Structure 1
Amino acid sequence: TAPVGAAHFNQFAQYGLIANLASVPLMGVLVMPSAVLAACLLPLGLDWIALWAMGLGLRWILAVSAWVADLDGARVLVSAPGPVVLPLLAFGALLIVLWRGGGRAVGVIPMGLAVWFWTGTARPVILISETASLVGVMTDQGRALNKPRGGGFVAQNWLENDGDAADQETAFARWPGAMSDESAIRLIEGKAAARHALKCEGAKVLVMTTDPETAPPAGLGCDVITPATLRATGALALYDSETGLRIIGAREITGERIWNSPHLRQ
């Protein structure tokens, strides 16, 4: 289950085996039997005896978890895997567990491929929240965010999926380097800035945090993303590709739902 937990929570507990060996046996020998005994003694008013014993076991388990969590290197952050990683891992593990004889070693091949795919999973170079209020650009130092506060849940998920231990303020400190002259994105924030004539200035993507008063002119030379366009596409992830930036919207993955379909909302 360690790869499954790492894939969903973007962290790997290096000493989880130590914690389990020190706590799981007590769970089966003391904690669970005490819970059953407490239910049996409840009509007699003596359940406190079993609950006291149960509490001893639970305090030991909590103490073990706290001790292991404080060890150096107890937690290793990992980036989110691609969609084929977990199915490949599961398939390979099932071959090893269920196949009889030496042929079960074949299961190592899909598991090895899964690890290789995981390490090579590409992260989006640009992430744009569904309201355009939060933008994240991948830099050499990690993902840079345009705001130190606000949209904290989205920011935390972006950084965790990158395998990045930084908080939002640390990611915001990287932002000046993300907005270099060679940047693929140009960010226009606020209503006042949105009133000016739109210019790409060499950027491939122009992101506006508020809708412009007039429609962007034709032949501008870059993709214009506004809150209005995001209402149709949902949050966006932009990936590097051989033909330029590849844009994937949340609606492409989730499909239309009652709560996000533009024509149903109208």
Structure 2
Amino acid sequence: MQIDLGGKTAIISGSTGGIGLGIARQLAASGADVVIVGRNAASVDEAVAGIRAANGKARGVVADLGNAEGAQALFDAEPHADILVNNLGIYNDVDFYETHDQEWLDFYEINVLSGVRLARHYTPGMVQRGWGRVIFLSSESGVAIPAQMINYGVTKAANLAVSHGLAKRLAGTGVTVNAILPGPTFTEGVANLVADAVRQSGRTAREEADEFVRRERPSSIIQRVAEVDEVAALVTYVASPYSSATTGAALRVDGGVVDSMAI
């Protein structure tokens, strides 16, 4: 299967690092014109330069998509998209009783409303052109809510609800909407989370991340963290013309963490 996204513009939120950057790289490798979006100009420039160095087409927009003003800045710079990947998200490890109202609101604004705003803006153009792909990055935590990350899990569950409902709203238009559910994935953020354990054990960050999966997600079938490219590969397929019969779906790339044959 040869995925060709030539002539398609792909906007990926939160794409200066981690899963978002991995998705941008793979979409660019498949021929898409990718738009890197992030809050830090230096990080945006670095991500764009890396993709161009690999002969991909990329440009960047500096915008804080965690608020309406930042979303408008993106809309002004990039009015149209054929592929929208709502990847922006934050997470932490805070007990329910120590998570105050403002933190709940911040998580909802960034993890949920950012994608809602972008989808609301870009999908009318997709409908007019008769083709489009909208992809929300949810998480296995949106199905199996972690006791230590309840606020995060709630927002990831909301991603599933929005994507499924929007898919039905856009029925028959040629625009598909799907959610991707990664499991624990080896990113810079995960490496930072296990940094203390690395210092204590002397193991590598990857080894500690794998140990975290075995300890905290024992239902994992692969018994390790996923690689960013493994998640990005599924996103690239869903963004392609080959996925035209897939919409309203919650597609897991969680390594089998969710112990179920269906969502």
Is the shorter-chain TM-score for this pair beyond 0.5, marking a shared fold?
A: no
TM-score by length of 1: 0.30
Higher relative contact order (CA 8 A, sep 6+): 2
Larger Rg computed on CA atoms: 1
TM-score by length of 2: 0.31
